[in-house]
Every structure is written in structure tokens, then in C-alpha cells.
Amino acid sequence: MVRLRGARFFLGTQGWNYPAWAGPFYPRGARPADFLTLYARQFATVEVDSTFYAVPPAASIESWVRRTPASFRFALKFPRAATHDDRLAGMPSRTILEHFATRVRGLGTRLGPVLLQLPPDFGVAAQGDLDAFLTDWPADLRLAVEFRDLAWLTTDAIESLAARGIATALTDSPHVPLEAMLGVVERASTGLDFAYVRWLGSRDITDYSRVQVDRSSELARWARALPPLVDRGLDVYGYVNNHYAGHSPASVRAFMELVGLDPPDPGDLEPQGSLF
């Protein structure tokens, strides 16, 4: 966690449980059971993908709390059973929301924003379903909505979300041209106290142990766009996927350097006591 003028950058990766990181990030020989503890010594936050597939069990919540410091933040993807299967249109989505909210509050101070990722074919014609669902969203859970249909960016949806205290997720992905996304940064952050950024990429990358794509020019553009949000008092949550460049911890460190922050050194993750 880095403090700038009272606001904070929370920067991390999408997921932590990757065996290919043992060596380039985690110490060689590190046990998967210790990955999260090690990860939390390097980064202030993580985006959890498993919650996209199911509401997390209470045992998982308890384990995450036990293995991380109170300052750590978990960003959680909302279950696809509501967004993709039910398409936010009926009682199943409300039931999932109630169950999800009750369960994730167990994270306490460690609960970061929730990401509501909409499918690519969730178009503006479904705005009524989205609005109705958001009416039931609990006020104590920070929320970011990710649109994968570009048409949303040309409507007043971004401003309507901000008026509810909801962020529009800013994505660097194959779904949205970078120019278009950078063009809505101001609209997506006006009136809010946080921003949510996702650096995605191509599924062609299957080796997560090293950087294979040069993303320096894209990251440089984000490094110009995001610090002004922190200067204005927004917490900026940002998460890199392995598919973005090949090895997301390295991409996070590269972005940190670009915005003048001190990136963590994986070499500091030396074996300690009973970890190994």
C-alpha cells in the first residue's frame, strides 16, 4: 500500500496461486499452501477469480484472513451465475447477492471492491435489468462494473453509475481499444472515492514464468492517466493478469516504477521458519 496525499494505490495481480511463479517470484520449493502468505508480503491487494464461479466457502474467507495482514485488500469478482446465467434479471441474482454479501463481509477490513463483470453480449438494451439489480446492491460494498460491450461507453451509463457511488472498471484488454478506455478515465472517476483498473491480455500466453510481451508503451500511458486520480483523493485499485505480458508480478513492478513508487523485490521472499 502506498499513500499519496492521503489516497492510496492498491496494486496487485489477478490471482496468486500459480506454480509457474515458483522461482521467478516465489522461492523455489515454496508450497502452494504458503503462496498467499508470501504474496501478501509483496503486494497490498489481489483480485480473486474463484469467486466468479461460486460464492466462497466460509472456510476460504477464514483462511484468507488468517494468512494476510489487516491492511491487505481482496477484490472479489461477483458470481457469474448472476451476471452470465441469470443476466441480473431475476430472483436467482438477488438470492446470490444476499448470500455473497453476507459471506464476504467476513473479510472485514480486508474486503476491497467487488467487480461485476458483464458478458460481451450484455448490451445497453439490458440497462433496465442492470439498474434494477444495482438498486438492491448493499451500500457497504464498494462496486465496479466492467462493460465488455463498447456501446455502453457512449451512453450516460458511466455517469449514472458514478452518481450511485459505483465505478466503471477501466480495462486494458482486447475487448476495448486502449484509446477509448483512456478517454473515459475522467468520466469514470468523477464524484467517486476510488477507481478500478484491470490489465488483461490475450489467452495465447500459457507460460506465466516470464514476461513475453512488451507492454511498456501501454503502461506508460496508464502511468500518466492514473496518478492524477490519486492526487484528487481516489484510492486506485489495479490488477494485472498473467496474459497481459506473461508474468503479472513483473508487470505490477514495472508500473510501480513508472509512477515513481518503490517496487517490491521478490528476492526478499526468503524461506522463513516453518513456511518451507
What pLDDT does residue 124 have? 96
User: Are 168 and 117 a contacting pair, CB within 8 Å?
Assistant: no
What pLDDT does residue 272 have? 58
Q: Which three cell numbers stand for residue 66?
A: 488468517
What pLDDT does residue 7 have? 76
pLDDT of the chain along its 276 residues, tens only? 444 445 799 999 999 999 999 999 999 999 999 999 999 999 999 999 999 999 999 999 999 999 999 999 999 999 999 999 999 999 999 999 999 999 999 999 999 999 999 999 999 999 999 999 999 999 999 999 999 999 999 999 999 999 999 999 999 998 889 999 999 999 999 999 999 999 999 889 999 999 999 999 999 999 999 999 999 999 999 999 999 999 999 999 999 999 999 999 999 997 755 444
2-275: CATH, from 3.90.550.10, 3.20.20.410, 3.40.50.300, 3.20.20.70: 3.20.20.410
What pLDDT does residue 273 have? 53
* Long-range contacts of the stretch 228-231 (C-beta < 8 A, 24+): 229/7, 229/185, 229/189, 229/195, 230/4, 230/5, 230/7, 230/8, 230/9, 231/4, 231/5, 231/7
- Shortest CA distance to 44 belongs to which of 236, 205, 246? 236
Pairing of strands 2-4, 7-14: antiparallel
Q: Residue 105 is inside which H or E element, if any?
A: none
Sequence ranges of the domains in the chain: 2-275
What pLDDT does residue 5 have? 45
- Note the pTM of the prediction, 2 decimals: 0.95
What pLDDT does residue 2 have? 44
Question: What are the residues facing 243 on neighbouring strands?
Answer: none
